[in-house]
Structure 1
Amino acid sequence: MNRIDTHHHIVPPVWADALRAHDYFGGQATPVWNPEAAIDLMDELGIGTAVVSVGRPGVALGDAAETRVLARAVNEYAAGMVRDHPGRFGFFATLPLPDVAGSLAEIEHAFDQLSADGVILLANYDGVYLGDPMYEPVMAELDRRSAIVFIHPTAPPGPGVPGVPPFSADFLLDTTRAALNLVRHGTVGRRPHLRMILSHAGGFVPYAAHRMASLTEGANGHTVTREGFLRDLRTFWFDTALSANPFTLPSLLAFADPSRVLFGSDWPYARGDNAQYFTGQLDEYPLSAEQRVAINRDNALALLPRLSQGSLTAG
């Protein structure tokens, strides 16, 4: 099918070393990964091109200086993958948030020197969610560049449920909180050139959109009507990672703009056979031929037209 996978993670050695050095596992061991295994998985699932990113917990593992160095290192590594495997990879750059000044510098380097396809942002940093005014300079610069922003969850602030890892359910809440906060603070309305992708079918957004629109007040004097709230939520893109199944897809496809649903594998964090399982669920779901091609490839090409040649010829 020559799919384009917009939710595909990498584990650069420099990042894996940093996670071990800071004893960070977060309830899920860092998976064994290398580019060759990634390409094998892509070929198995019919993925022509994967737009790769470093997942949670991001790079804010030490002080601000260490975080900037690590962000630069993982971005240079990802750009090297794009060069070394023509047509097979794009990448979303990592920013050293919550360091705003460092993030602005890394945006410039990632786009102007490394030709990044966009950025990955975590839903929250130290409990402060996207949409908060502290991130406004970063969002303004990304808007100026008409950037793609891939929003990925991490553990929400506060204690978890003993024995329940955050990625099993809490990640869905984390994504939902970020989307809600981006709307209620007016970021979506003020930054119309941002193209923001929500992971995992948007968490609870499609299912709970009307509830959120009816019960959420705007922040900082920003007025959001119910209709405006729903409209702003529908400006997001949504990926199918760990979410393609007969129960989730009807809600997603009923809510989302059909041109804004993207294929995602969540490999290698989709443990075991989950990347294959959810891809198979998508393939078995009753879609028109046009819908299937749109989700697997064409919607991503509309966002990332430079991938056209690789996605149509690789695999």
Structure 2
Amino acid sequence: MHAETMRSANAMDTGLIDVHAHLLPGFYVQEATAAGHAHPDGVGDWPAWSVQTHLDLMDRNGIRTAMLSMSSPGVHFGDDAAARTLARSVNDYTAQLVHDHPGRFGSFASLPLPDVDGSLAEIDHAFDELRADGVALLTNARGVYLGDPRLEPVFAELDRRRAVVFLHPTSPPGWEQTTLGRPRPMIEYLFDTTRTVTDMLMAGVLARHPNLKVIVPHCGGALPVLADRIEEFRHLFLPEGTGSAPGALEQLRALYYDLAGTAFPRQAPALLQLADPGRVLFGSDYCWTPPALADAHIAAVDAAEPPAPGTTWRTLTTANAQRLLANAAQ
């Protein structure tokens, strides 16, 4: 561990690995605002973020490593060329942070989806040049959901690389009607997460690409309570010739899930009715979750009933992340 980021005396012994952590460099905020995102996803102003304030939050909460990714609205604001340039700038910037703070940060690279050719080029750059730990994909890319056949070349390449794929929600098409004037992250994020994972499952993306290591955020959204319904409808409307694919419950159980947000007292116990405990990960959702609220969420994780005898949520999620992110979790 780097000396400048030594954990504070009151930090827990088990250093968490935060798979759901966001950076927000000034050049990105400036470009996103110029593109019309002055109030991203209807939440008000952009949150404040700096490397030091992020490290401060990590130190006081015993977070060893934060896997940095861009949140919604992503890097594509309508122009493919501009999206390619912004994705490259964000990924290069993040890689420099990882280099400058060894062991404290990892990187999930941004892709300029729905631009497939640009995304394939950025996958090569991110993995081969920057040594990224995975990629971050929004639940829809300008209305294109992740089961869309146009994205098949991207998933084929990520599968070939056995990549970690971190999903992050964004506003759905038609949010103007569905949100009823309320902030989109409140429930639309959870529904869009559920929608895109269901789309990947029904379209056969998960079955065709079993080497993908997909992280689903926010305790899986509504998936834990809808999984049986999805399984039933999958049997009713199963496309001819796909009967050999694993069942929906089996495919969902093979995914990873993070605890970002209000995991306790209700969401995490519901998640364990669906998810393999060996695939549950910690997430803070900082900096989009304000510092005081992030502190409270982490305290709730530490106070929650242990997931199994002889473990804590810290030890469980840290061991799981170490297996998933061996290079970043050293």
TM range (shorter): over 0.9
Per the alignment, residue 285 of structure 2 pairs with: 266
- Displacement of 1:13 in angstroms is 1.9
| Closer, same or farther: CA 71–308 of 1 in aligned 2, 3 Å | closer
Aligned length: 309
| Structure 1 residues 264-287: Cα deviation after superposition (integer angstroms, max 9, x where no partner) | 000011135221122111111110
Per the alignment, residue 92 of structure 1 pairs with: 108
Normalised TM-score (structure 1): 0.94
The one of 4, 12, 22 equivalent to 2:35 is 22
| Structure 1 residues 51-102: Cα deviation after superposition (integer angstroms, max 9, x where no partner) | 0001111000141110000000000000010011111000000000000000
Q: Which runs of 4+ in 1 moved over 4 A?
A: 217-222, 224-227
Per the alignment, residue 248 of structure 2 pairs with: 229
- Say if 2:311 is the partner of 1:298: no
Contact 1:119 / 1:150 at 8 angstroms: preserved in 2? yes
- Say if 2:177 is the partner of 1:177: no
Normalised TM-score (structure 2): 0.90
Determine helix, strand or coil for the equivalent of 2:71: coil
Structure 2 runs not aligned, ≥5 long: 1-13
| Closer, same or farther: CA 250–266 of 1 in aligned 2, 3 Å | same
Contact 2:20 / 2:260 at 8 angstroms: preserved in 1? yes
What is the percentage of aligned positions where both structures have the same residue?
45
Per the alignment, residue 6 of structure 1 pairs with: 19
Contact 2:249 / 2:274 at 8 angstroms: preserved in 1? no
| Closer, same or farther: CA 170–164 of 1 in aligned 2, 3 Å | same
Contact 2:112 / 2:118 at 8 angstroms: preserved in 1? yes
Contact 2:321 / 2:329 at 8 angstroms: preserved in 1? no
- Say if 2:74 is the partner of 1:58: yes
Deviates more, 1:65-74 or 1:283-292: 283-292
- Say if 2:52 is the partner of 1:31: no
The one of 253, 257, 280 equivalent to 2:272 is 253
| Structure 1 residues 204-236: Cα deviation after superposition (integer angstroms, max 9, x where no partner) | 011211011112455764636897111111111
Task: Provide the rounded CA distance (Å) in 2 between the counterparts of 1:260 and 1:60.
Answer: 30
Task: Provide the rounded CA distance (Å) in 1 between the counterparts of 2:241 and 2:57.
Answer: 45
Contact 1:237 / 1:260 at 8 angstroms: preserved in 2? yes
Q: How does 1:125-274 map to 2 (within 5 A)?
A: 125-158=141-174, 159=176, 160-216=178-234, 221=240, 223=242, 228-271=247-290, 273-274=292-293
| Closer, same or farther: CA 272–308 of 1 in aligned 2, 3 Å | closer
| Closer, same or farther: CA 278–124 of 1 in aligned 2, 3 Å | same
| Structure 1 residues 131-184: Cα deviation after superposition (integer angstroms, max 9, x where no partner) | 111110000000000000001000111123233111001100000011101110
Contact 2:68 / 2:108 at 8 angstroms: preserved in 1? yes
Contact 1:185 / 1:222 at 8 angstroms: preserved in 2? no
Per the alignment, residue 312 of structure 1 pairs with: none
Contact 1:186 / 1:218 at 8 angstroms: preserved in 2? no
Contact 1:213 / 1:227 at 8 angstroms: preserved in 2? no
| Closer, same or farther: CA 294–192 of 1 in aligned 2, 3 Å | farther
| Amino acid of the structure 1 residue aligned with 2:268 | L
Contact 2:194 / 2:222 at 8 angstroms: preserved in 1? yes
Per the alignment, residue 313 of structure 1 pairs with: none
Contact 1:244 / 1:279 at 8 angstroms: preserved in 2? no
